[in-house]
A and B are shown apart, each in its own frame.
Chain A
Amino acid sequence: MASELHLRVVTPDRTIVDRKVAAVTFQGVDGSYGILPRHAPLLTAIAHTGVVRITELDGKKVEMFASDGFAQVQHNVLTLVCEAGEFAHEIDLERVKAAEAKARERLSGLERSSEEFIRAEASLRKALAREMVARRGSGTGNLT
């Protein structure tokens, strides 16, 4: 029992994950967090874009893309509330590539420091994070 952590990933569209895992790491606004079972109650904001790495009970590792949200640990339950969350096999690489190209194009025509620039940069970061997740795992988890 003690080596299990309940993970829930909730987005506006659906609840993506709701099961027991061994460990989770994710990016908070102020750095990387690693959550193990029996973590102390915690509440933090997740970085705008990030990769959540889940270690399953059998030691396999799975990655998913997550953006913009909050993480809460309470009673050995880690809840990630984020706006978008996808496993590698759910990501459409073609679309991500298109988004990346579009973001790059927008960036090149803009003044640094303008608000538009910051937005375009954010969408580029999102595209890149998605791409990374999609490339690295087929969703079944082949990272060790």
Chain B
Amino acid sequence: MANLKELRGRIKSVASIAQITRAMEMVASMKLRKVQAKAQSFHPYTDEIRHILDAVAGRVGATAELPLFRRRQVRTVGMFVVASDRGLCGSYNSNLLFALRRRVEELQAAGAQVKFWCYGRKGYTWLMRRGFAVERFFVEPPLDKADFAAAKLVGQVLVEAFASGAVDEVRLCFTRFQSMIKFVPTDVPFLPIGAIAGGPDAPARHGVDFLLEPDARTVFDRLVPRYLETVVFDAMLQALASEHASRRMAMKSATDAAVRMNKGLKKVYNRARQENITKELLDIVGGASAVS
């Protein structure tokens, strides 16, 4: 029989854990909402950029000649990993890093060397512990506060690495936010740019002929980097949304578990208390009857 004082202590600590996890759950859902709002207001921009890219791509002709579109033999692969800065978000990081590890092993088996760029401290420490070379670990601004300028910087760094020949392929490894309860670790090819969203029927969709000034190439050359930045920012926002949603879920189940545990403990405590009282009563009654 656990003694009463010990039980009281445990009940108290479990209750305060529940309180903390509940607060964390609320913070996570608020942050999630903020990220979603950010994603929402970012959508029109992406749509417009894609739309224009679609329209111009048809005019440029064979894109296969352009540096960012040219496929090379893959000797080194660059991976941009978006993990979280903080823990306590369930299996968010381990799922992502598990998927990453599988992909890396696949690539290495194919004879490619893998280089890493990384956002999020958890990803960085994981990579360092396993002896992977991290080319650059982005810390400023922290992922939580990441804005479009941050994505722009990442995009520039990745494009630079690809253009200079340091890597022959770039992939983005992040967690896709599918729904409030479903997050899928994915990695998608980033560079060289494959087919542009539109496809061959794009000009037909745009229908009307339009003036293009000064010329298709000039516009296209400025458009492509913008497009890549939107892809990076989209990946970062999805990762961030997944992180918060995942943390929210983890904290919710932690709160539930703590509440359940508290209930069980209280039952045990009350039974023990009751038993003590009964025992004392019996003692008193026994003592009284012995006197009289």
Contact = CB atoms under 8 A, between A and B. Distances in A.
Given A40-B211, A41-B209, A44-B212, A81 B219 contact: no
B208 A41 contact: yes
Interface string A65-97: 000111011100001010100000000000000
A14 B219 CA distance: 23
A110 interface: no
Contacts of A129: none
Q: How large is the interface on B (under 10, 10 to 19, 20 to 34, 35 or more residues)?
A: 20 to 34
Nearest to A46: B222
A55 B174 CA distance: 45
Contacts of A44: 211-214, 219
Given A70-B219, A74-B208, A81-B52, A42 B213 contact: yes
Contacts of A13: 41-42, 147-148
Contact of B213 (A10, A11, A15, A28): A28
Interface of B: 41-42, 44-45, 48-49, 51-52, 55-56, 147-148, 208-214, 218-219, 222-223, 226, 230, 233
Interface of A: 10-15, 28-30, 40-45, 68-70, 72-74, 79, 81, 83
24 contacts: A12-B42, A12-B45, A13-B148, A15-B44, A28-B214, A40-B210, A40-B211, A41-B208, A41-B209, A42-B210, A42-B212, A42-B213, A43-B52, A43-B212, A45-B222, A45-B223, A68-B226, A70-B52, A70-B222, A70-B226, A72-B48, A72-B52, A81-B48, A81-B52
